[in-house]
Every structure is written in structure tokens, then in C-alpha cells.
Structure 1
Amino acid sequence: MLIRELRVTPVAFADPPLLNAGGVHQPHVLRAVLELVVDDGRGAEVTGLGECAGHAWQLDWLELVGSRLAGITVYDTEGVRRLVQGLLKGEVPGVDYGVEAAWRRWSDRTDRPESGGPAPVPAPAFDVNRVYSALEVACLDAQGRLIGTPVVDLLGGRARDSVPYSAYLFYKWAGHPDAEPDEWGEALTPEGVVAQARRMVARYGFRSLKLKGGVFAPEQEIAAVRALRAEFPDHPLRLDPNAVWSLQTALDAARELDGLLEYLEDPVAGTADMATVAAHATMPLATNMCVTRLEDVRPAVVAGSVGILLGDHHIWGGLRASVALGDVCRAVGWGLSMHSNSHLGISLAAMTHVSAATAAVHHDSDTHYPWNAAEDILVPGELELVDGSVAVPRGPGLGVDLDRTALERLHSVYLELGREHRNDRRYLESVVGARAEAPDQANPT
């Protein structure tokens, strides 16, 4: 049951021009697909899957950690975590931290990539969780495949057989500037947001709706929420301005949104201002920004900043840590949901297993999957959103398998792009500079 090797394949897949407080999504998302090859003890191999962000620094670190994984038993996830932490802190002897060494694997590149790593950095200046989490998912997938058990059972068993997700609504352009309009069309007005929601609900059966805000003036986004409430009187609604509002703006907006929202997510930045808004708002405040580590919990509880926490196994350190986070939320009286960023099906499968195993998840989880599902790298039909929910896969491990042809195609796209990082702001600025009409349509603040 020893780890033989870690294969990391960076991929790029198409993404619509979704607006947010930071700018606008670029035409392609960068992700990394992990394959952890394990000896099954009988001379054959089992491969566990993982997925994470595909930024250059993440690839650098995975490459470096992967070079040291061979020989560790796949059941020793704490040993894997200690290895990651030791490497990030520069405590593992004989390690070549040079960028050239870490990127030797990507010899098909013409230019050395821009990168923030690998280099030893003092914890907690760099978050071990973001490197370790995808490795832990791959370990658990391999464990489940080895013994014929779904990951949800390795996490303690099912609290539910299917996991409900929320429609993730975005303001968006009709299409990227150099492309034809996409199938979702434009959504820059309350009417456009409602039309997008209708399509989401009709196609996937979502029973709750979240709007990514922080794009237009607050009154415009409040008008969109009111339009959604009129169209969907029974759907719980959420609004996420990504902490770009001022304190006074947030207080005014919370008053205007009284009776409309299931929760208001990160209206302002920081524990103190969140607490001030929470003291005056009639709806709970949710966060995935001011509480992202266990060390953040106590200050937020003392201040009264948060009513609902949005966990994320990529950020909190994997699936087991996310299940434990449910116990923390129950202990302090918080609700729990799950945060999402642009992702493929491996992450959706992992989210589904961990949410199914976490009884404290009482709010529909976020997912970007409908925006990116057409380019998934899984065998088709293994994961489906039906009535707004994903059934927990019954197969061993995560219960999903790679479509090798799709993986190779998206890896080729990645290599052709030659882009190493995501930068929504830079992309917005490039478009605004090229199109005089863009500022009126895409002001991120």
C-alpha cells in the first residue's frame, strides 16, 4: 500500500466572462489534476485522484512534494501532511528548492514560468493546507479503491444520500471580447440575472440561488435580489459582495435587504466590521473570507461576526479537516455551508462526499460546476446535478474516473496558453482598454 509516484497534470478549460469584485473571469481556468499511484500490495497499481488550483506556485510545490512521496503508505495522511509542512518550512534536508529543479518535469515549455515557489517559507506565511488538501483527497480516493469503500464511509458514514447545491449566479458579458456570445448570454441587469436564474433552475433544478455581487452599485444589486424574490418566491436567496462594501454601505444595504435573504455573505472586510453589520442586520452573515483557519474562529465568536461559515476543503486542509469543521460550527452555534471556486468534477465529487459525511451542513453548498461542466475530465454520467442535488457516488473511493482523452486535450490547451496565473483584474483592465464601452458594463466596484 505504498505510494509509488505523484503525477500532476495542469489543465485549462473554458470559462465564461463572469464578473466579480476582482474583475472578470479570463477565458480559461487553470487547474491541476493529481494522480497518486499506489502499490496495492499484490504487485498491481491503484490510482487516487485529486484536483486543485493550477497556479504556477501550486504546481511547483506539488512537484517538489511528489518527489518525496514514494515509499510512504497511502494510509499515513498525517505523514504526508508532515512532509508538506516540513518542505514549506525548509526543514527537510537535501532539498533542491530551485525553480529549474521543480520545473524540470515541464520540459515542453519554451519559457520558464513565473512562480512564487518552491522556496522554503516560514509557516504560517504560506498555508500548508492549500498544498496538502489535494494530496489528502487523492490518498482517500486511493484508500477507498484499495478496500472497495466510498470515501464518505472513510469520513464516518453518510448523514445524507445526496447533497443539495445552490445555483451560482453572476453578472456577465454576453461573451468574451474576441468570441461569439456564449449559451448563457448577457446578465448585466436585474432582468438578465433573473433570466440566467430561470435557465439554471430549469436545467439543474436548483432550489436556492446565490448572486455574486460587488460588481455594480449596491442599489443595482439589491434591485436584482428583489427581482429574484419576485420570480422565485420560495427559493432561499444569498448575496455575496466579496467584502467590497464600506461599513455604512453594508449597514444601509442590510436594512434594504431585510426579509429577502437567507444570508448576506462577506458584505465588509474584517472581523470587526462584520460584527458591526451583524449587530444591526436581520439576516445572518456568512463568510469564507474573515474565517479561513481555526485560529480565526475564536475572534469571530467573541466579536459576533459570523452566523454561517462557508467551508472549503481546498482551504481548510482536506476532507477530514472539513468534517471536523462541522463539529466546530456546532460547538459555537454557526451554520455551515461549502464555498466554491471554478472547478471540475473531481472537486465536485470530493465536495459531495464531505458534505454527505458532515451532518452540520444545513445550507445548500456553492458550486461553479454548471459553468464548467461541459469540459469536465471525468467519464461522462458519473456525476449529475438532478433537482439541484448530486447523489453520493456508490463506487469505491470518490466513485469517479478520468476520461483520459479529455484530460490530454485540456493539458494541451494549458500548454498552448502559456499562462501561469489567474488575474481577473488584469484581464478586465485589458478589455476596458480595448473597448470604450466596457467601463459602464464591468465596473467591479
Structure 2
Amino acid sequence: MKIRSIRATPVNIPFRAPYRFSYGAIASLTKTVIELETEDGVLGLGECADGDRAADVVAAGAKLIGHDVREVTTAEAKIVPAMRYTPWGNVTAARRVFGGIEMAIWDARGKTEGVPLHTLLGGAVRTEIPLTEYFSYRFPGTDPGEATPTDVARYCATMVERHGSTVFEGKVGTVPLSEEVQMVREVRAAIGDRTLQLDANGGWTVPTAREALARFAPFDISWFEEPVETYEEMADLRRHSPIAFSAHAIDLQKAHALRCPDAIVTNVNEHGGIARTRDFIRACEAMGVGFRFHSGETGIASAAYLHLTAALEHVRGASQTLFHWYADDVIEGGPFALENGVTKVPTGPGLGVILDRKALQRCHDRYLAEGPFPSGRDGGYGSGFRKR
């Protein structure tokens, strides 16, 4: 069960249409696919979420050749500095790189032992994983996109008709507030009493967010992600709105102290892998803070968060996904299916997914042609971002 080699390939996973959010627009997600091979010929798959990390993965992986895949703790010690900050390296980058490698380690272990990841984590408490259906303004692509409130509402109605979608989450903070209020009004009419959530990606100031929350209140918004950027700003807003808040920034102690946000929404990579994510979720449970996974991974890391959700009861409610927006993936049969608001947890050994080598090459070629995180429109990802 020892590691023989570690390879890494940057890829772009395209959207059917570039979507707009408060930072700009995005047409493809850039990820790094990791292949870890053991001396027994078992292939473990992992993923780095934050762009092209291929060179960093290969350099870190060289330190793990000959390492037993069952020894996650000692593997981490070889890659990640044992402090929060060091002037001699980037702890965050090292943690993210190891997180992708560690995912592949778990996959290889599960395949070696012939059991799914959720079994290694203690067993499944659920086998159908609730996930959101996303909506936003989108530029034309292979899908026509949505440019008006009515377009967005029709898209949501189509998702109900085709896929039985049950939880909708929409991007706001992209166009004038009056237009977004109209969009949410029409979406609510289109989806009936199904769950409706919103996400501003921290794009508003407190005064704007306070006005927005008041104007959205009649439409029964069950959850609002990052109406403002900081925990302190969310705590300020809490005095003016009963809507639950979530955030991507990770500061569990502060969330507990401020009683805000209500949930932290991140990926596996950000915590440094599957073991660290499991431990963080348990800490959230102990401190009364919710946890959900966010969208934007290939089928590899998506499988990891499906298994973690299956194994950990505290991951309640619908995590985020973009499955119906993906135009490609690197796994056989991908992207994952999302029907009637749920995706089934994979049942095969390890992560339960198989790498599609033709798709991997296709997505790598796309990365070479497009570059990282292309916007699909002039101006680029995050161009001209300022709070409203």
C-alpha cells in the first residue's frame, strides 16, 4: 500500500453558459487532477480546487514516494508546516496541495480495501445527498443564457419540470437591486413553495445589504450566503433580518462567538483533505455552527464531499452544486446526476469514480487554450469588482 508515483494535470471544466456573479463572470473552472499510483498498481484520484497546482503537487508528492497510504498524519507532516504562519513558506498553499493529494490517498486506500470512502469514515447515515439548483444571469454559450428576470424564472421552471429540483440558490449583487428584486419575485412565482436561497458573494456594503434583505423578505428566503463580506458585518445585519447567513471564510471560533454566520460553506481542499474536513465538521457540530459544501469541483472532489455528507450527520440541508451547468467532466459518466433534489452517494470502492482519460486530455487541452478561470467575456474574472 505504498506510493509509487504522483502525477498532476491542470484542467478546465466548462459551463454550458458563462455565469455572472458579484466578482464578474466565469466560463470554466480550473482544477488540478491528481493521480496517485501505489506499488500494487492501485490508482487513487484527488483534486486541487484553486487552479493550476500541478508543479506544486508533483514537488510535494516527491516527498511521499514509498509512504504507506494508511498513514495520513505522517504524510501531512511531510508537506504542511506545523504552524499557522511561517516566513519561509505559504502554509495555505501547502495545505491545499496536500488536501488534493490526501484525497487521492483515501481513494487508493478504499480501492485497496475494496470499500467506499463513506465506509472508511464510519458508515453512511444517508445515501441520497440533497443539493441545490443554481440560477443566475448567464451569458450565451452552448445554452442560450439568461439576461432578464423572466429568462431566469423560465430557467428555474424548466429545472422543476425536467429534474424535479427542490432547492434553488441564486446569484445576486450583479445588476441593479430593483432588477434583482424583480428576478426573485418571478423565480418565486415559477418555483412555488420550493426552498429559495440567495448568494451575493460578499458584494454589498451593510447599508445596501440591509435594504436588499428588506426587499427580498416577502419572497420567503430561507438562507442568504455572504450578503456582506465579514462575519462582523453579518452580525450587524442579524439585528435587521431573521434570515440565516452562511459564509465561505473559515473562522469557527469567531462564528461561535458572534453567533454568525449560521453555517460555514467550504470545500474539502480548503481544510487540507478529507480527514481535516471530517474533524472540522465535528468541531462545527460541537460549537453549534452549521456546515455545507460549496459548488465548483470536478466529479472527483464532488465524490469526496458526497461521501463526507453521507458519513457525517451534521452536514444537514442542501449543499451547493453546479452539476446541471457543467458541459464536461473528467470522470466516466460525469457530471453526476441531480434528480428530485438529490444525488446518490457513489457505491464503488474509494471515491467510487473512474477517470475518463479522453475527457482528462480534452479538459487539459481546454486549459492550455483558455488559461485559468476564463470569464467568457472581456474584463475577466473579478474585473472591476467593487462593493455596491
TM-score normalised by structure 1 residue count: 0.80
Q: How far apart are the structure 2 equivalents of 1:376 and 1:88?
A: 36
Which fold has the larger relative contact order, with Cα–Cα distance below 8 Å and residues 6 or more apart in sequence? 2
Q: 1:271 aligns with which of 231, 234, 237?
A: 231
TM-fit CA distance, 1:409: 2.2
Q: Tell me what 2:168 maps to.
A: 209
1:70 to 65, 68, 91: 65
Of 153-162 and 331-340, more deviation after overlay is shown by: 331-340
Displacement of 1:319 in angstroms is: 2.0
Which of 178, 186, 193 aligns to 2:152? It is: 193
Indicate how the Cα distance of structure 1 residues 121 and 18 shifts in structure 2: closer, same or farther if over 3 A, else same: same
1:422 maps to 373
Question: Which residue of 115, 121, 124 corresponds with 1:158?
Answer: 124
Given that residues 24 and 380 in structure 2 are in contact (C-alpha distance below 8 angstroms), is that contact kept between their aligned partners in structure 1? no
User: What's the secondary structure of 1:401's corresponding residue?
Assistant: coil
Residue pair 1:10, 1:54 contacting (<8 A) in 2 also: no
Q: How does 1:33-44 map to 2 (within 5 A)?
A: 33-40=33-40
Deviation per residue, 1:352-406 (Å, 9 max, x gap): 111111101111010122211x311211279422222111111111111111222
Unaligned runs of 5+ in 2: none
Pair 1:8 & 2:4 matched? no
| Aligned ranges 1:174-253 → 2 under 5 Å | 174-175=140-141, 182-183=142-143, 185-253=144-212
CA-atom RMSD in angstroms = 2.7
Q: How many residues align?
A: 385
Give the letter for the 2:196 counterpart: L
Q: Find the counterpart in structure 2 of residue 121 from structure 1.
A: 89
Tell me, in whole angstroms, the C-alpha distance in 2 between the residues paired with 1:339 and 1:154.
23
Residue 297 of structure 1 pairs with residue 247 of structure 2: no
Distance 1:381 1:61, change over 3 A: closer
Largest Rg, 1 or 2: 1
Distance 1:53 1:333, change over 3 A: closer
Q: Is contact 1:149–1:396 with CA below 8 Å preserved after alignment?
A: yes
Deviation for aligned residue 1:308: 2.1
Distance across 2 between alignment mates of 1:286 and 1:89: 24
* AA of the residue aligned to 1:414: Y
* 1:192 partner letter: D
Change (3 A) 1:338 1:122: closer
Q: For residue 344 of structure 1, report the CA deviation from its aligned partner.
A: 1.8
Q: What's the offset of the Cα at 1:241? A: 0.7
1:400 is paired with a residue whose SS is coil
Identity across aligned pairs (percent)? 30
Which of 51, 57, 74 pairs up with 1:55?
51
Instruction: Give me the whole-angstrom Cα distance separating, in 1, the residues matched to 2:4 and 2:355.
Output: 19
Amino acid at match of 1:38: T
C-alpha spacing 1:286/1:29, structure 2 compared with 1 (3 Å) = closer
Amino acid at match of 1:268: V
The amino acid that maps onto 1:422 is F
Q: CA deviation at 1:127?
A: 4.2
Maintained 8 Å contact 1:173/1:188: yes
Which residue type is aligned with residue 121 of structure 1? G
**Structure 1 position 199, deviation (Å):** 2.8
Structure 1, unpaired ranges of 5+: 92-118, 176-181, 434-438
For residues 258 and 335 of structure 2, what CA distance do their matches in structure 1 show?
44
Within 2, Cα distance between the matches of 1:122 and 1:317?
13
- Please give the per-residue CA displacement for 1:52-103, whole angstroms capped at 9, x wherever unaligned: 23634x2231121122220111111112211221499999xxxxxxxxxxxx
Shift of 1:427: 5.0
- Give 1:353-392 correspondences, 5 Å limit: 353-372=307-326, 374-380=327-333, 383-392=336-345
Once the two structures are superposed, residues 227-268 of structure 1 have per-residue CA deviations (whole angstroms, 9 ceiling, x without a partner) of 222222221111111111111111122222225111111111
Partners of 1:202 and 1:268 lie apart in 2 by 33
